[in-house]
Amino acid sequence: MAPALLLALTTVASSEQAQQLARGLVEQRLAACVQIQVIESVYRWDGALQQDSEWRLLIKTTQARWSALQDWLLAQHPYAVPALLAWPASQAAPAFADWVRGECLP
């Protein structure tokens, strides 16, 4: 059975950080593609309300690469407590799914 596809998400504080992580994930074959988008985040940190621009990375990968992706990203991430979330992509165009799987082979 082919590995299931995952969509993963994390955020960073700058375009440079986002580009560095995205390139590393694809170069290491931990992700087939990473999309970078500027967002506005509102959150509480150290007891104070914060509002900051962040860069969101949407990571297209496979379940088979999740553990290695998580280890690599947590080691490289600039945040002390990075958000790293993933959910299954329950539906995908067959050709796209095959491409993701092929790009994520170790």
29: left (phi over 0), alpha (psi -120 to 50) or beta: left
Domains of the chain: 5-95 (3.30.70.120)
Q: Long-range contacts for 36-43 (Cβ within 8 Å, ≥24 apart)?
A: 39/11, 41/11
Locate tokens 């988008």: which residue? 37
Per-residue pLDDT tens over the stretch 11-50: 999 999 999 999 999 999 999 999 999 999 999 999 999 9
Average pLDDT estimate for 46-59? 98
Task: Write down the pLDDT at residue 3.
Answer: 81
Task: Write down the pLDDT at residue 2.
Answer: 81
Task: Write down the pLDDT at residue 39.
Answer: 99
> Is the model's pLDDT at 1 over the cut of 80?
no
